[in-house]
Amino acid sequence: MSTRPNMVLVMSDDHAAHAIGAYGSVVNTTPRIDEIAELGWRFENCFAANALCSPSRASILTGTHSHVNGVTTLATPIDSGQPTFITQLREAGYRTAIIGKWHMGDGEGHDPQGFDHWEVLIDQGEYHDPRLLSPSGLRTVPGYATDIITELAIDWVESLEGDAPWCVLVYHKAPHRPWEPDEKHRGRFTDLPVPATFDDDYRSRSASVRRAAMRIAEQLTIEDVKRTPPEGLDYEERAIWLYQRYMEDYLACVASVDDSVGRLIDWLRGRGEFDDTLLMYTSDQGFFLGEHGWFDKRLMFEESLRMPLVLSWPAAIPAGRVHDGIVTNVDFAQTLLDAARVAHHPRMQGRSFWGDLTGVDPEPPAEGMYYRYWEHDDPHHRAPAHYGYRTDRYKLIYYYNDGLGLPGAGPRVYDPEWELYDLERDPDELRNVAHEPEYADVRDELDAAMWRLQASLGDVPHSSQPMPRLIAEHPAASL
């Protein structure tokens, strides 16, 4: 077994875990992504610490939360000179590359650093004939982005000489909005089942959630669905029609990504290197596929919060396993470094889960995870600024509703609100129990746990949040 594996890290954009066969999808199949899970591990409870493209990418790269790496919104570009798992790998002798979606700014100080090779899309990038930026400048590459990104990643590895290990990030645009499929998969997905919560009336939910402009019935555009709805449809009928058109293209884009994963698997096998390669597939966050009537992400509801993560390295970790503990995208950097036997940077946060996979010196399991969404009331989606704490059973959310003057956030400030969900009794998150007497003790305990975790991570509560009762009464216990 090699102690320094080659690494192929594949990340898509907005790919919901529940649109993957290995996670029980009822709308599509993904046989090649599933193959990684069959030959390695599937993570049941992997979550984004900030379910938004640029912040999630920054957390994955740096192993830090948004308030540490500085990428809090879509309009806060990364300082790409900060330490990352890539800089650590490179210092340890790895050859490193990123091909595809960067989406953390461009120009001096924001272009990728620490890579031996990089060629990335500009901003969101294009599905067809994408423009790619590299140190040599900007070029347009004819073809479909998912295929091009895969081909360029393979070409880079094939160009390498010598035995030093390598790590390539294969970062897709798909299946991000506006969901433009290739011809091979166009029209493949029709008559799809509608989620049970599609007609959610948001009863018991906060005004903060109700303000979010992510409703399929109201916010999908002609550009999104590529045609005009038929005349004569009532509100409910039109909503279903829009859902079907949206999902038709979204899932077709996913199918191309699955093909890409298959091509990488077959290529590694053809090189005789599959067993000695750490191969990972994930997405930068989850996505709503009609649940609660929504599309997009941002909110701390399960469909948005949950990330797919499957990982294989046949020579080092067992096959066919499921990890059901809590992990986050902040944990990725330290975990990958442990797999490569490379030291973490002391700035990194989170918890390495490599010991969970190997059974060697696993770290204590996480009792809960911390989430914070900063891009308050942006003009397109109007999602509220909030932070929260999720355990294996409960989820507490504080909507502080203040953009704090951050780029990309709106100027309006709304009243703060709380939500609490019992995921065991209410897995669809339809009943906010934050103000129900039966859950008063649970809420107090979660409020205190969130306060302590927030402090340990170096984040600061919003000024509107009262000190938790259990912290105020027992200040020594807050340390």
Give the tens place of pLDDT for each residue, 325-373. 999 999 999 999 999 999 999 999 999 999 999 999 999 999 999 999 9
pLDDT at 438: 98
| Angle, CA of 164, 357 and 51, to the nearest 5° | 90
| Range 298-325 burial, b when 16+ CB lie within 10 A, else e | bbbbbbbbbbbbbbbbbebbeeeeebee
Q: How many residues are present in the chain?
A: 479
pLDDT digits (tens, 9 = 90+) for 163-175: 999 999 999 999 9
CB 416 within 8 A of CB 391: no
User: Is residue 1 over pLDDT 50?
Assistant: no
Averaged over 216-237, what is the pLDDT?
Answer: 96
pLDDT at 474: 82
pLDDT digits (tens, 9 = 90+) for 175-215: 999 999 999 999 999 999 999 999 999 999 999 999 999 99
pLDDT digits (tens, 9 = 90+) for 244-299: 999 999 999 999 999 999 999 999 999 999 999 999 999 999 999 999 999 999 99
What's the CA gap between 396 and 7, in Å, rounded?
Answer: 36
User: Is residue 476 over pLDDT 90?
Assistant: no
Average pLDDT, the chain: 97
Say if strands 95-100 and 117-121 run parallel, antiparallel, or are unpaired.
parallel
pLDDT at 477: 57
Strand order in the sheet with 166-171: 137-140, 131-134, 117-121, 95-100, 166-171, 6-12, 277-283, 309-312, 41-47, 321-328
Residue 161 DSSP SS3: coil
CB 462 within 8 A of CB 375: no
User: Is residue 113 over pLDDT 50?
Assistant: yes
Cis peptide bond N-terminal to 175, omega within 30: yes
Averaged over 430-435, what is the pLDDT?
Answer: 98
Check residue 438 and report its DSSP letter. Answer: G
